[in-house]
């Protein structure tokens, strides 16, 4: 009984070394705080400058792109449509053939 009371009392007490010796909570010396703030100011990104740099880079890359002419777009679109029709016809042909074979096997 005494052991249980002692354990309960120990659990309710804070650890012995939870506060600095001065008795104040989480004291940070002023010089360290100033250094941290100075570092944070230096590392703070300059969003406006970074955005301008990014947009300049995008513009430079877009200048390097080879843009198709209207005629080339029409030709390549036609090639793609013809290829889609051919592949679709092949799939339909094989599907019909397999369906016919399966119907012969099942009956």
pTM for this predicted structure: 0.44
**E strand intervals along the chain:** none
What string of pLDDT tens digits covers the 107 residues of the chain? 566 655 655 566 655 555 555 555 555 556 666 666 666 666 666 888 889 999 999 999 999 999 999 999 999 999 999 999 999 999 999 999 999 999 999 87
**Closest to 102 (Cα-Cα) out of 54, 5, 94:** 94
């Amino acid at each position: 009984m005494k052991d249980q009371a002692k354990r309960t009392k120990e659990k309710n007490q804070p650890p012995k070394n939870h506060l600095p010796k001065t008795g104040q909570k989480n004291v940070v010396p002023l010089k360290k705080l100033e250094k941290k703030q100075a570092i944070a100011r230096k590392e703070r990104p300059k969003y406006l400058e970074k955005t301008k740099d990014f947009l300049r880079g995008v513009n430079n890359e877009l200048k390097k792109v080879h843009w198709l002419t209207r005629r080339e777009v029409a030709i390549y679109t036609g090639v793609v449509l013809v290829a889609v029709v051919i592949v679709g016809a092949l799939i339909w042909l094989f599907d019909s053939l397999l369906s016919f074979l399966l119907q012969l096997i099942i009956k």
